[in-house]
Every structure is written in C-alpha cells, then in structure tokens.
Amino acid sequence: MILLIMRGALLLLAMAVASLYLLSNQWAANVDDVKFIIILSAVIGLMLAIIGIDAGIKDKKLSQVSGIFLGLIGGLLATYALSFVINLFGIIYEPSPDVVRPIIKENSIAYQTLTDEEQIDLKNQWLEYDKEFEANRVFWNMLEGVKVLSGLVCVYLGISLVLQTKDDFRFVIPYVEFTKQIRGQKPIVVDSSVIIDGRILDIIETKIVQGTLVVPKFILNELQTIADSHDKLKRARGRRGLDVLKKMQNSQTIEVHIEDRDIEGRTVDQKLLALTADMQGRVMTNDFNLNKVAQLRGVEVININDLSKAMRPVVLPGEKLHVKIAKQGEGQEQGVGYLDDGTMVVVESGKNHVGEECNVIVTSTLQTSAGRMIFSRFATVDDEEVTEKLADEVLGTNEGNKTKKHPKKRV
C-alpha cells in the first residue's frame, strides 16, 4: 500500500514540476500548446517506465543496490579527477591562434574611413579570426565530449568492479552491507544430506550445537527438486528433508537462517563450500566426498557420522552386555547381535541362540573402516559372581571414602 502511494506521488510530483517549469518559461522558450503536451507526455512516460521497471524487478537485493550506488559514486569521483587531466591536456595542446583579433570592427566609424583595399583586408582578417575562434571552440567542445565519455566509462567500471568483487569488501557504513554477517559464533552451513538424515533434530534438542544453522537457498531448491522427483524413493527422501527443515525452523533451541545469497559454482557442493568459506563458518554434512574436498580447501567440517561414532559408549574387555542375537555369524557357531547404537556384537557359540536375549562378556573389540565390532562369549555363573563381587567392592570403597570424609559423631 505504501509503495502504491509513493509511486502515485512520484508521478503527480513529476507532472507538477514539469508543468510549472514549462509554464514559467513558455514565452521565453517559445513553447506552444503542442510542444507543451509532447514534453509533458514524455515526462509522464519516463516516470511510468521507471515505476514499471521498479515493480517488475521482484527479487531486489540490498547488496546489488548498494553496489550500484557506491560504484556510481566512485565512478563520478574518478570522472571529476580525470576532468582536470583532460583540461590540462587541452591547455597544452590547444591550437594557438595565428591571427590576432582585429581592433577595428566592421560597420564602425573607423571602418568607413578606410580605403576599399583596407576594408577588404580587414574583412579577411575577421574571417581568419572567426575560423581560428571556431576551431578553438570545436576543440574544447570535443574535450567536453571526451569528459562525458570518460565519465560513462568510469561509472560503468566502478559499478562493474563493485558488483563483481562485492563479497571481498567489508564496509562499516551503516545500512550498507555486501555480505550478511551472522554475529556470534561461527555459523554452521547445513548440507542436504544432514537434513534428509534427520538426526540433526536430536542433536539440536540436546543443545550441544550453538550458533546459527544456515540453510542456503540452493540447498532448499535441491530438496524441492528431490521431493518432486519421479523416483518414489527420492521423492520420499526429499519430502522427509522438507519436513525436517520445517521442524528445525520451529525449534526454539537454535536459530535457523535461510541464506538467499547467490554463490558462483557449477555444482551444489562447490557453492556450499564457497558460501561456507565466505561466511567463515563450518559445514555440516554426511557426504564422504564433500568431507574430503572441504578438508582440502581448508573448510571446517562437522560430520554427523563421526559425531555418532564419538558418542558411542566405550566397551572394555570383561564388561557385561545384554544383547539379542539376531542372526548367524560368518564363523562357525557364531551369532551376531546389535547394540542400540548399531554396534555389531559377535557372540561365540551363539548360532543356536538366534532370537534369544543373552548376557555376554566382552572378550575384545575391533575398530574397522565400517565401524566397531565387539567379540564376546556367553556369561557364566562365575562371571556373574565376579561382576557382583567387583560391584560390591566398588560400592564398599565409595562408602569408605564417604565415611572418611564425613565420620560419624560419637554419641
């Protein structure tokens, strides 16, 4: 509503200014009614064109407007400085007149006293002087044209330079920003693989992630493309990603920012790393290849899989576990079960106990590229007695320490 009022006010003010100017100078400029209507129509058409261009450009960005404004100012300042050089060039190379301005003017009293030959000679002197004067005037007019052309070039170069290198500038001028700086800790730029995975919601609820989660617009577009895919599996993954992103935005634990800035790059991964480096943040991903490329480019990476591995409980040989044997193992008489975090537990002699929940004792652990494996055997009565004895000893030791720190008072 406010924009409509402003556009209408601009049109009315332009018509009023043009009309007042034309009416005040109508007799001096010999402006008749036809010229008045033509000029006023041209002004109205120009204003309508400007309003139409403004209304047609929907996706306006402050960085582009600021870049054009500052580039224009820089170009005008450069033009002003260059005009002195052009004037100096004109003074140095100005054509020197070979003819002196005649003292006697034509049709004057002194001119009437001259003979016919002297009058003809004086006329020739005036013609030569007029030619020299006209040549000098043309020379300076050409220099004025050079100034205008140099001004156009400087303004163009200034705007082009600022727009192409705007991400390298850091201005402290109020309300002028080329890159949106997120205050506080380093922002975390989220990859689509993390959003589709969904574990980011649980991580957010734990409140261990601080700062701002940044979701670039091209990542949002990628999720939309996946959600619109003809492949049923991809479509389900894309819709899940959009649902997870919606829950992230509704979370009260952390701030989620949608970054609209357009970053140059052929692929989404290239844009993601370029944006993260530009924001001096960290990228969160599950993509193995993106992880490696980010490390090569010096971008900090948070890998959800690595975080999950780091959060798994440490299991030492001799500890007791409760596991359900899910299937037969590759070795003879082996059974395989899984902990709640997905860690594989190989149970000796567990082949005949598939589907049963058993107590096992850890014998060893093995870390592989695929994850961690735990080897175990069935717990016996002796193992349970040893475990209970160790627990009693630990409890007794703790109670003894408490007694030493806080001895009972004698009655």
Pairing of strands 335-338, 282-285: unpaired
Q: How many CB atoms lie within 10 A of CB 328?
A: 15
Question: Do 52 and 68 have their domain in common?
Answer: no
pLDDT at 318 over 70: yes
Question: Do 216 and 237 have their domain in common?
Answer: yes
Question: Do 193 and 298 have their domain in common?
Answer: yes
Tell the residue number behind the tokens 């007042």, with chain if given.
20
Burial class for 335, CB neighbours closer than 10 Å (0-12, 13-18, 19+): buried
Higher-pLDDT residue of 102, 361: 361
φ, ψ of residue 406 to 5 degrees: the values are -130, 75
Question: Do 163 and 70 have their domain in common?
Answer: yes
CA distance 305 to 155: 51
Give the model confidence (pLDDT) of 75-91 as tens digits.
889 888 888 888 887 77
State the amino acid at position 32 in one-letter form: D
Q: How many CB atoms lie within 10 A of CB 269?
A: 17
Give the model confidence (pLDDT) of 348-384 as tens digits.
988 888 889 999 998 988 876 566 788 999 887 666 5
Give the mean model confidence (pLDDT) for residues 338-345. Answer: 82
Q: Answer whether residue 408 is part of any domain.
A: no
Q: Are 307 and 285 in contact (CB under 8 A)?
A: no
Q: Which residue from 285, 278, 287, 283 is spatially nearest to 300, judged by alpha carbons?
A: 283
Question: Do 202 and 133 have their domain in common?
Answer: no
**pLDDT band, very low/low/confident/very high, at 385 (cuts 50, 70, 90):** low
Give the model confidence (pLDDT) of 161-206 as tens digits.
777 765 555 443 444 444 555 555 788 898 988 899 888 888 888 8
Q: What value does the CA radius of gyration of the chain take, rounded to a whole number of Å?
A: 42
Of the three residues 144, 161, 179, the one that is the final residue of a domain is: 179
Split into its structural domains, the chain has a count of: 4
CATH of the domain at 375: 2.40.50
- Comparing 52-56, 100-104, 238-242, the range with the smallest average pLDDT is 100-104
Question: Do 154 and 75 have their domain in common?
Answer: yes
Question: Do 98 and 175 have their domain in common?
Answer: yes
Q: Answer whether residue 243 is part of any domain.
A: yes
Of the three residues 310, 333, 360, the one that is the final residue of a domain is: 310
Question: Do 367 and 391 have their domain in common?
Answer: yes
Q: Answer whether residue 405 is part of any domain.
A: no
Give the sheet arrangement for strand 212-216, strand by strand. Answer: 255-259, 212-216, 188-190, 282-285, 300-303
Q: Are 154 and 82 in contact (CB under 8 A)?
A: yes
CA distance 114 to 111: 5
Confidence (pTM)? 0.46
Give the range of the structural domain holding residue 352, as residue numbers without chain letter: 320-396
